[in-house]
Amino acid sequence: MSFDKSMIGTDIDFDREGVQFGTLRLPHSVHRSAYGHIAIPIAVVAKGSGPTVLLTGGVHGDEYEGPVALARLAREIDPDQVRGRIIIVPTMNHPAFVAGTRTSPIDGINLNRTFPGKRDGTATEMIAHYITTELLPRADCLIDLHAGGSSLQYLPTLLAPRWSAGQGSAHRGPGRGLRGGKRDLLRFDPRPERGGSGDRQFCRSERGRFPDW
């Protein structure tokens, strides 16, 4: 067995066509269960050839909008409308989501500050390692849903990296370049005072670093 392989297992077959609902099994050894695990929900919808889109939510456990939207999408999506594969993880930081807290109640770590993670680290570090080594290499596109949680208020905004041709694929390496570097950001701001209107969204380009939510 490779020592780089994630310790998180799953009952999902990522190469199988159709609709699958399953879990990621995060090892969690405690007094009441020496070989216990935490089940993180995951759904995969695949049909035919095409790109893979990875949809994640709940990186911060008190941001419920993403998990609600993705859980609904997983239930209602029509596989006949899919060409390729959609991987949906509504509550990536499931322990924090259950607790309703921004950071994990297990180790107190902010998942969004933890990448690339550690194979044999704490619960949050293991989740980050699984995303980095198992999910991102499979994805052609990642959409990670955030909100303001219990301490912030955000207007609807889309932040997206703008790479030159051939640079935007997650296949360049696990987690490499998906976060943190200086790049153009495309920001969609619907506020009228910023140029938005009811039937169209104003967009402008900003230079700088990705925000560390």
> pLDDT tens digits for 66-101?
999 999 999 999 999 999 999 999 999 999 999 999
Answer yes or no: do 11 and 107 share one domain.
yes
Answer yes or no: do 147 and 42 share one domain.
yes
User: Residue 189 and residue 201: Cα distance in Å, rounded?
Assistant: 6
The position carrying tokens 């994630």 is 6
Instruction: Say what the pTM is.
Output: 0.79
Sequence-ordered list of residues with C-beta below 8 angstroms from that of 34, at least 6 positions apart, any chain: none
Cα R_g (the chain), whole angstroms = 18
The CA-based angle 47-49-53, given to 5 degrees, is: 75
Question: Considering 101, 134, 153, which residue would you say is the last residue of a domain?
Answer: 153
Instruction: Give the closest residue to 56 by CA, choosing from 68, 44, 66.
Output: 66
Answer yes or no: do 148 and 159 share one domain.
no
User: Looking at residue 108, what is its pLDDT?
Assistant: 97
User: How many domains does the chain fold into?
Assistant: 2
The CATH number that applies at residue 52 is: 3.40.630.10
User: Looking at residue 3, what is its pLDDT?
Assistant: 57
- Structural contact between residues 90 and 67, judged by C-beta atoms closer than 8 angstroms: yes
What own/partner pairs with CB < 8 Å and gap ≥ 24 does 116-120 have? 116/174, 116/175, 119/3, 119/4, 119/5, 119/6, 119/7, 120/7
Task: Give the model confidence (pLDDT) of 140-181 as tens digits.
Answer: 999 999 999 998 887 777 777 665 555 554 444 433 434 444
